[in-house]
Structure 1
Amino acid sequence: MEYRKLGNTDLNLSVITHGAFAIGGNMWGGNEKQDSIDAIHASLDHGVTSIDTAPFYGFGLSEELIGEAIKGRDRSKIQLLNKFGLVWDGSNNGKGEFFFDAGADGKSIPVYKYASKANVIKEVEESLKRLRTDYIDLLQLHWPDATTPVDETMEALNLLIEQGKIRAAGVSNYSLDQLKEAQKTISLASNQVSYSMLNREIEKEIVPYTLANNIGIIVYSPLERGLLTGKYFKDAKLKSNDHRNGYFGQFDPEKVKALLQTIEPIATSKNATVAQLVLRWTTLQPGISIVLAGSRNAAQAIDNAKTMDITLHTDELTIIQQAIDQAR
């Protein structure tokens, strides 16, 4: 495993970080508790020291599973990356910005973006209990909240740093203008953003700005939620309550298939899977600090960790780049 310093912080994170969205179950067709815990244990046992989660993932379940999984482990050797700012339990009393309805099977669960100072502090206390820890290594605003002044949210993060409840503060899904506004109040550690072979929008403005200002980039959805593994073009099926039934519709399946078929021989030559090759390519892109990789069982977690064993040469990167360009 390789470890990288995150932005202007003293956090050294594993380049492949355990992404814990899917183990929350909601929007992913459910989960298996023991498989989820086994996946975390396997990650930690294979050099993945960093875990990324959020209260919204499983409405607290993802955090609880992580808290249970790391119990008895050396906390100083684990970095917990968490978020705040999505409220689903009505505690915002109608305040904030309506995001979407996370309900299913006729049940309504309205989710709001809400990043007031009081809510930030409240959420952190709840997360600390679920995670069974007394500090969070990196706390990130999950999504921008248009109803709360940016400086109010950032002042709350500064306060939490002063109190020792968080080691560093970052944001997620922030635009260039939002980053600049936040930087007036706080020195941001990172911006967590969506990025993949099929989605390279951040290369235009976000990457140049973060490189110039020593802000880390944390990548989520590098495999486009499993699409770039190739298994959904074969025998894998999605459950009816899996959000990816709709998510995958934004991509041209024939172009994606062609991309994967072109790069598969490179993966094979490395004794690697296509998914591992895609992840490794992502870790090598300019400005990228760490890459989140989800796993729902130990075998997937081990495969993700072994991604960093792959070496890609210039000619191979050229072939991959050409295939990506043709997939647009």
Structure 2
Amino acid sequence: MNAAAMKKTTLGPSGIECSAIGLGTWAMGGWMWGGADEAAAVRAIQASLDAGVTLVDTAPAYGLGRSESIVGAALKGRRHEAVIATKCGLVWHTREGTHFFEEDGHPVYRYLGRESIVHECEESLRRLQTDHIDLYITHWQDGTTPVAETMDALLALKKQGKIRAIGVSNVNPETLAEYLRHGPVDAAQERYSLIDREIEQTLLPLCAEHDVAVLGYSSLALGLLAGPIDPARQFTGDDQRASNPRFSAGNRARLAAFFETLEPLRQQLGCSFGQLMIAWTLARGSVSVALCGARVPQQATENAAAGAIALHDEALQRIDAATATHLHALA
């Protein structure tokens, strides 16, 4: 794809411009994805940049710093080409807050206290090999810390030039409204795909009212929407899809029928099923950025190409009809 054909968007009041397709790096950290190949991940990030993707999304929790370190290595010499989004609020350096999960033998807590955020930011800057983070996002919300304290810390980091914009993730409308009472929020990162549309009725109206950009993560629903899945395929190790009911045999059959219905449209547009699903996400107008995970260059390049696909109304209607027919019973 010609990188110049990539759709662009702006991250809320910050005015930061980025690509409408973003690269998600959760899988690159290996955790919950059955491991990862760091060299291939570095090449995937660089291939994304070559294809016009400028937003690279990561987090300390993705492999306990591993994903951030991979992003830092990949962007060496190319930092100016990227808009880096990373996160805070899932910590293993303290046991304050609320215990959330275990990762590689470390208890991880939800915590958004002032001192912890400052510590996390410094660690992220070090791993990312940069002097600033473009978009700093509270990863999961912490019921033990007042939002006012969290925002105070984020606004101080912004004033110091260590972050350029403030984001929130996995947040309900009430908590977002509380953030907005204490300062500008540039972006909200939430799950959104053809089969995950709850935020259309809950969070999106508030985001639209306050010019908060929406970054939709899991645009391909953990790969479920990337195309037909071989019924014999097994997910092994700590790969979360092994125990996810959405990847059941029954759902794979429903998805196979769904994709078969859309095969003529896919051929007409000359794209892959994954690209069609990503293009649908952007065409809906619900999200500013569709975040798509990739672990190898081919995946990254294919996802990026969806940023140049324009879906007409008839195509959207055909996709919605196929969804209603085949995916209404998706578990």
Q: Using structure 2 for the length normalisation, give the TM-score.
A: 0.93
Aligned-pair distance for 1:142? Answer: 0.2
Which residue does 1:173 correspond to in 2? 170
Aligned-pair distance for 1:234? Answer: 4.9
Give the distance between the partners of 1:235 and 1:305, measured in 2 at CA: 29
Which residue does 1:141 correspond to in 2? 138
| Residue range with higher mean Cα deviation, 205-214 or 50-59 | 205-214
Q: Select 1:6's aligned residue among 7, 11, 23.
A: 11
SS at match of 2:288: strand
Give the distance between the partners of 1:246 and 1:127, measured in 2 at CA: 31
1:229, 1:275 within 8 Å by CA — same for their partners in 2?
A: yes
From the superposition, tell whether residues 201 and 250 of structure 1 become closer, same or farther in structure 2 (CA, over 3 Å). Answer: farther
Give the distance between the partners of 1:83 and 1:168, measured in 2 at CA: 12
Which residue does 2:210 correspond to in 1? 213
Q: Percent identity?
A: 39
Question: What whole-Å deviation, never above 9, does each CA across 1:157-208 have from its counterpart, x for those lacking one?
Answer: 0000000000000100110101111111121001100011111100102111
2:86, 2:137 within 8 Å by CA — same for their partners in 1?
A: yes
- Runs of 4+ in structure 1 displaced over 6 angstroms? none
How many residues are treated as equivalent by the alignment? Answer: 320
Aligned-pair distance for 1:248? Answer: 4.2
1:29, 1:239 within 8 Å by CA — same for their partners in 2?
A: yes
SS at match of 2:71: helix
| Residue range with higher mean Cα deviation, 296-305 or 284-293 | 284-293
Letter of the 2:83 partner, please give it.
Q
Which residue does 2:96 correspond to in 1? 95
Give the distance between the partners of 1:3 and 1:160, measured in 2 at CA: 26
Give the distance between the partners of 1:320 and 1:231, measured in 2 at CA: 15
Q: How does 1:301-312 map to 2 (within 5 A)?
A: 301-312=300-311
Give the distance between the partners of 1:14 and 1:136, measured in 2 at CA: 17
2:132, 2:161 within 8 Å by CA — same for their partners in 1?
A: yes
Give the distance between the partners of 1:133 and 1:51, measured in 2 at CA: 14
Which residue does 2:21 correspond to in 1? 16
Letter of the 1:232 partner, please give it.
I
Matched, 1:82 2:81: no
SS at match of 2:289: strand
2:101, 2:109 within 8 Å by CA — same for their partners in 1?
A: yes
Matched, 1:47 2:46: no
Which residue does 1:289 correspond to in 2? 288
Aligned-pair distance for 1:38? Answer: 0.6
Aligned-pair distance for 1:247? Answer: 2.5
Give the distance between the partners of 1:171 and 1:187, measured in 2 at CA: 11
1:210, 1:287 within 8 Å by CA — same for their partners in 2?
A: no
Give the distance between the partners of 1:150 and 1:189, measured in 2 at CA: 16
Question: What whole-Å deviation, never above 9, does each CA across 1:50-76 have from its counterpart, x for those lacking one?
Answer: 100000111111111111111112x33
Q: Can you give the 5+ residue segments of structure 1 that lack an aligned partner in the other structure?
A: none
Give the distance between the partners of 2:311 and 2:285, measured in 1 at CA: 15
Which residue does 2:3 correspond to in 1? none
2:167, 2:185 within 8 Å by CA — same for their partners in 1?
A: yes
2:228, 2:255 within 8 Å by CA — same for their partners in 1?
A: no
1:17, 1:51 within 8 Å by CA — same for their partners in 2?
A: yes
1:113, 1:145 within 8 Å by CA — same for their partners in 2?
A: yes
Letter of the 2:263 partner, please give it.
E
Q: Can you give the 5+ residue segments of structure 2 that lack an aligned partner in the other structure?
A: 1-5
Letter of the 1:284 partner, please give it.
A
